[in-house]
Amino acid sequence: MTKAIAPRSRKVRVLATLGPASNTADMIAKLFEAGADAFRVNMSHGDQVSKVAVIEAIRGLEKKYGRPTTILADLQGPKLRVGKFEGGKVELKTDSVFVLDRDKTPGDATRVELPHREIFAAMESGARLLLDDGKLVLRVLEHDDNKIVTNVEVGGPLSNNKGLNVPDVVVPMAALTEKDRSDLTFAVDQGVDWIALSFVQRPDDLWEARKLIGGKAALLAKIEKPAAIERLDEIIEACDGVMVARGDLGVELPPQTVPPLQKRIVETARRQGKPVVVATQMLESMIESPSPTRAEVSDVATAIYDGADAIMLSAESAAGKWPIESVAMMNAIGEAVERDPMHGDRIHFTVIQSDATTADALSEAAKNIARTVDAAAIVCFTSSGSTARRIARERPAVPIMVLTPKVETARRSGLLWGAYAVHTKDVDSFEEMVAKAKRMVLRHHLAKAGDRVIVMAGVPFKTPGSTNVIHVVRIVGDELKGYN
């Protein structure tokens, strides 16, 4: 039996990562009720078999709540790691010499294997190498095809297979590993809605993933490498959405540079009309505590004020002690920020220049008309979702109801600011369009008798990319008579 759930009162979306603390059907339903709009399945942990039940549980929400669900599969990417040590652990002393080489022999306090040939070829003298999430810092003294000699600038304990970051050099590695290709194929076969590609450095990194996806899912680029910042516009143009992945970005760059970069990435994505997710350590203390710090709340609020489409929970909802409370807190922060009378002004600090197309002109007009006539909602009929993205880019003050005959489009809209998607039959005439728009806003409690609603569509109907109609209607209140 379908359980009714009211539309979210906020427009920013909440993306919750699933994991050991939250991967049962019952817990996933509780996270949805607490405020999760979309779910991230992290392919870095666990095997593919375990993910099948998780994906099925997420899709089960559609029957239970009568709402499309959104699944993002996050690929691990080419994570760089050092080899193993004799005894499993060593202590690197500051100002000592430490060598990374291609010898598989277990390492010690003077050397260790680095099983990534590409790094040796791309290395430069003076470059920094960061180990264990930046806790240890090495500086390259000399290098050749078989070894990299470094000075330990910041020492400390180092154990087997710890991660390595190379912030100062573009490493010519494929964005997809063999594991990623397998996971991507699996995720697409399972019908996920978004594929997130990790450690993107350049637009070319997206091509193989795009080809393998074959149009069956949307592609999201994770911005977590300094090299990606240098070609940010091109990368965003080549994908369907982006994530500000502040974890690795904050390791490879000085932490104080991350906030302005976050704003730049959000602004660039918004200008291009691509959904943008802000992620990592948003409510980090809630992994252990039932309440966040004030600084964390302020951090989440800042992302919302910047106009991000979605805010993401990582370990807080995947492995923490308080997954439901973490989602509920994200939901509460979103609602509080969007009630702020200044919220509308702040999210429009980013000036959006509409493209010279009819659809863009109408989307901008819809936002302005909604404000002028105090409309309750904007309803758009769309097949591909492009009209919904254009309207969302304008950040209107009212909800965006996305009516689409394609369930894939409805599901992908879960990361889109302000979107409330409904999978429904297409319309054949102008009269049917108006009548259906009225019924849908009443049925889903987005408008009531006496409200005005703005309707956007393309004529001729059922023609993708033909958005050319904007119409203002008033709800009488009896439009549902005779309909179930």
What is d(CA 138, CA 112) in angstroms, rounded to the nearest whole number? 13
Q: Is 222 a catalytic residue?
A: yes
Give the DSSP letter of residue 398.
Answer: S
The answer for residues whose C-beta is within 8 angstroms of residue 46's C-beta and 6 or more apart is none
Q: Which of 10, 40, 162, 452 is catalytic?
A: 40
CA-closest candidate to residue 273, choices 305, 241, 244: 241
Relative to beta strand 111-113, strand 97-101 is parallel
Q: Is 452 a catalytic residue?
A: no
Instruction: Return the C-alpha torsion angle 120, 115, 232, 299, nearest 10.
Output: -130
What is d(CA 380, CA 456) in angstroms, rounded to the nearest whole number? 5
Q: Which of 280, 404, 409, 467 is catalytic?
A: 280
What is d(CA 379, CA 305) in angstroms, rounded to the nearest whole number? 24
Percentage helix, strand, coil for the chain under 3-state DSSP, each rounded to 5 = 35, 25, 40
What is d(CA 222, CA 214) in angstroms, rounded to the nearest whole number? 19
Residue 244: CA atoms inside 13 Å, Cβ hemisphere, count? 32
Q: Does residue 284 contact residue 316 with C-beta atoms inside 8 Å? A: yes
Q: Is 185 a catalytic residue?
A: no
Q: Which of 81, 102, 210, 406 is catalytic?
A: 81
CA-closest candidate to residue 41, choices 22, 26, 60, 61: 22
Q: Is 40 a catalytic residue?
A: yes
Instruction: Return the C-alpha torsion angle 247, 298, 294, 253, nearest 10.
Output: 30
The answer for residues whose C-beta is within 8 angstroms of residue 254's C-beta and 6 or more apart is none
Q: Which of 10, 162, 202, 222 is catalytic?
A: 222
Q: Show which residues are catalytic.
A: 40, 81, 222, 280
